[in-house]
């Protein structure tokens, strides 16, 4: 979770030169360290909120973002989709690797709901679990090691 959104200066391409503002460096370093990004962005006036678009603008010219796997999470009480469509377009332009053609839906019980209310719902937990599994696939089941009866199992014989 990136908590430096408010510290980012307004993007100006003329300012995208060394030395970059500390908040921009911290953002780019965090993105560079991440294996993938999960973006759950609210919709405001049928679009991407300005502060979040500003964050994305600071990543456009970075070396850390292109090719980064990204999963969009549409966590909404109203099923809004305008911002999600805009985000998909923006992220595609930025060379993100979108992990799903559509934003992953998580239907919130109501606007302003609490974490506890979301986690109290078996359906919401299942939606979140499915999203996280898409973001971080389970590792494959390892084959048995030699000496554990693997030769017999691989040959189709009954285990010892």
Planar angle of CA 75, 100, 8, nearest 5 degrees: 60
Question: For residue 158, what is the enclosing H or E element?
Answer: none
Task: Tell me the DSSP string of 104-147.
Answer: EEEE-SSTT--HHHHHT-HHHHHHHHHHHHHHSPPPPPPPPPTT
Is the pLDDT confidence value at 108 over 60? yes
The pLDDT of residue 104 is 83
Residue 103 near residue 88, CB atoms below 8 Å: yes
Question: For residue 71, what is the enclosing H or E element?
Answer: strand 69-76
Give the integer Cα–Cα distance in Å for 97 and 70: 6
Could you read off the pLDDT of 3-62 as tens digits, one per residue? 999 999 999 999 899 999 999 999 999 999 999 999 998 888 888 999 999 999 999 999
Is the pLDDT confidence value at 134 over 60? yes
Q: What percent of the chain has pLDDT over 90?
A: 50
- Domains of the chain, CATH where assigned: 5-138 (3.40.50.360)
Is the pLDDT confidence value at 79 over 80? no
Cis peptide before 153 (omega within 30 of 0): no
Higher pLDDT among residues 30 and 160, named by residue: 30
Q: What percent of the chain has pLDDT over 70?
A: 85
The pLDDT of residue 38 is 94
User: In which band, very low, low, confident or very high, does the pLDDT at 2 lie, cut at 50, 70 and 90?
Assistant: confident
Could you read off the pLDDT of 140-155 as tens digits, one per residue? 666 666 555 444 334 4
Q: 134 Cβ partners below 8 Å, 6+ apart?
A: 71, 99, 100, 104
Mean of pLDDT over the chain: 85
Place of tokens 């989709």: 81
Question: For residue 98, what is the enclosing H or E element?
Answer: strand 97-98
Q: How many residues belong to the chain?
A: 160
């Amino acid at each position: 979770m990136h908590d430096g959104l408010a510290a980012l200066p307004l993007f100006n391409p003329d300012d995208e030169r060394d030395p970059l503002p500390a908040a921009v460096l911290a953002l780019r370093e965090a993105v560079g360290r991440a294996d993938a990004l999960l973006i759950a962005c609210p919709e405001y006036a049928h679009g991407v909120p300005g502060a979040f678009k500003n964050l994305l603008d600071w990543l456009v010219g970075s070396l850390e973002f292109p090719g980064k796997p990204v999963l969009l999470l549409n966590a909404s009480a109203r099923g809004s989709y305008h911002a999600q469509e805009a985000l998909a377009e923006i992220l595609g332009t930025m060379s993100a690797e979108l992990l799903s053609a559509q934003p992953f839906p998580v239907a919130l019980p109501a606007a302003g709901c609490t974490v506890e209310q979301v986690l109290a719902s078996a359906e919401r937990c299942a939606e979140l679990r499915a999203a996280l599994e898409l973001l971080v696939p389970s590792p494959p089941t390892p084959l048995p090691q030699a000496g554990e009866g693997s030769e017999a199992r691989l040959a189709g014989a009954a285990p010892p």
